[in-house]
Amino acid sequence: MEIYTPKEAGDFLKLNTETIYDYIKSGHIRASKIGNRYRITGEALEEFLRNMEVE
């Protein structure tokens, strides 16, 4: 299982880190909060991408 920080997830998705935080807070990206830091699984990023697909 791969684990990403919001910055790493932003780099992977080519998005600003603040955008990643917005997606986490709105529930679009599932994340775990460990202490005061968010961590995102690779599975959560794949789910996010599937949900964002254009039909």
Per-residue pLDDT at 24: 98
pLDDT of residue 42: 97
DSSP alpha helices (H): ranges in the chain? 6-13, 17-26, 42-51
Which residue positions in the chain have pLDDT lower than 70? Answer: none
Residue 42's CB is within 10 A of a number of other CB atoms, namely 13
Q: Residues 31, 24: contact at Cβ < 8 Å?
A: yes
pTM above threshold 0.75: yes
State residue 54's pLDDT score. 85
Residue reference for tokens 């529930």: 27
User: What residue segments make up the domains of the chain, in order of their start?
Assistant: 3-51
| Three-point CA angle 13, 45, 32, nearest 5° | 120
- Taking the C-alpha atoms of residue 55 and residue 53, their distance in angstroms, rounded to an integer, is 6
pLDDT in tens, 12-27: 999 999 999 999 999 9
